[in-house]
C-alpha cells in the first residue's frame, strides 16, 4: 500500500476498485450482533473505507451504498465514495462468495498507470512495462502500523494517522449504513 501511495500524487484524481471476498458467517455470529460486533460494515468494511481515503489522498465528500437484501444483515454491499480531489472509489464487500477465490484485490487507476494488490501477496504495476513484486507471506501492514504508533508515543511525535482522518473514515462508515437504509447518496 505504501508503494502505491508513493507512485501517485495526492492531488491527482484516482479511480480505486476494491473487491473483498469476505466469506459467509452464520447469522448468529458475534460480528453480526449489532451491540457486540456492530455488523461487518462497521467491523471490517470500515478498514477499506479508511484505506480508500488513504490511497485517494483526500477527504471523503460523499458516500452511497447498496446492500443485497437476501440475509437482512447488510454483509454483501457495494460502497461508492467520492473525494475532495476528484477521486472515486468502489468497495465491493461480498459475503456470498467461494472460499477458493482470494480474499482481497485492490486496484488504483491513475494517469495511465494501474497498481494492483492481489490478496496482499503480490503488487503489480502496469505502465509501459509490467512489474510484479511478490511479498514473503501476506503483509497488510499491521506490524508497521503498531510500530509507528508506539514510536509516536515514545518519541512524542504526532500520531501516524491524524485524528481528523480517523474521524472522517469512521463517519463515512456510519454513513454507509445510513445510505443503505435511506437508499440515497449522503454528502459529508
Q: What is the pLDDT of residues 92-108, one digit of tens each?
A: 999 999 999 999 999 99
**Is the model's pLDDT at 73 over the cut of 70?**
no
How many structural domains is the chain composed of?
A: 1
Q: What pLDDT is recorded for position 72?
A: 63
Which residue would you say has higher pLDDT here, 185 or 148?
Answer: 185
Query: pTM score, two decimals?
Result: 0.91
Q: What mean pLDDT comes out for the span 37-66?
A: 94
Please give the Cα distance from 179 to 67 (Å, whole number): 10
CATH number at residue 96: 3.30.360.10
pLDDT band, very low/low/confident/very high, at 69 (cuts 50, 70, 90): confident
Q: Domain limits at 45?
A: 2-187
Amino acid at each position: 500500500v505504501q508503494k502505491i501511495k508513493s507512485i501517485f500524487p495526492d492531488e491527482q484524481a484516482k479511480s480505486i476498485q476494491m473487491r473483498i471476498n469476505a466469506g459467509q458467517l452464520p447469522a448468529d455470529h458475534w460480528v453480526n450482533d449489532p451491540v457486540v460486533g456492530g455488523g461487518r460494515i462497521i467491523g471490517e468494511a470500515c478498514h477499506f473505507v479508511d484505506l480508500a481515503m488513504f490511497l485517494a489522498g483526500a477527504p471523503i465528500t460523499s458516500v452511497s451504498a447498496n446492500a443485497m437484501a437476501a440475509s437482512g444483515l447488510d454483509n454483501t454491499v457495494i460502497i461508492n465514495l467520492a473525494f475532495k480531489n476528484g477521486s472515486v472509489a468502489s468497495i465491493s464487500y461480498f459475503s456470498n462468495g467461494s472460499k477458493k477465490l482470494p480474499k482481497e484485490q485492490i486496484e488504483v487507476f491513475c494517469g495511465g498507470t494501474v497498481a494492483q494488490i492481489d490478496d496482499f501477496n503480490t503488487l503489480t504495476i502496469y505502465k509501459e512495462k509490467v512489474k510484479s513484486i511478490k511479498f514473503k507471506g501476506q503483509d497488510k501492514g499491521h506490524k508497521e502500523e503498531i510500530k509507528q504508533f508506539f514510536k509516536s508515543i515514545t518519541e512524542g511525535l504526532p500520531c501516524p494517522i491524524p485524528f481528523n482522518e480517523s474521524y472522517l473514515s469512521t463517519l463515512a462508515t456510519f454513513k454507509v449504513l445510513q445510505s443503505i437504509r435511506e437508499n440515497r447518496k449522503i454528502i459529508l
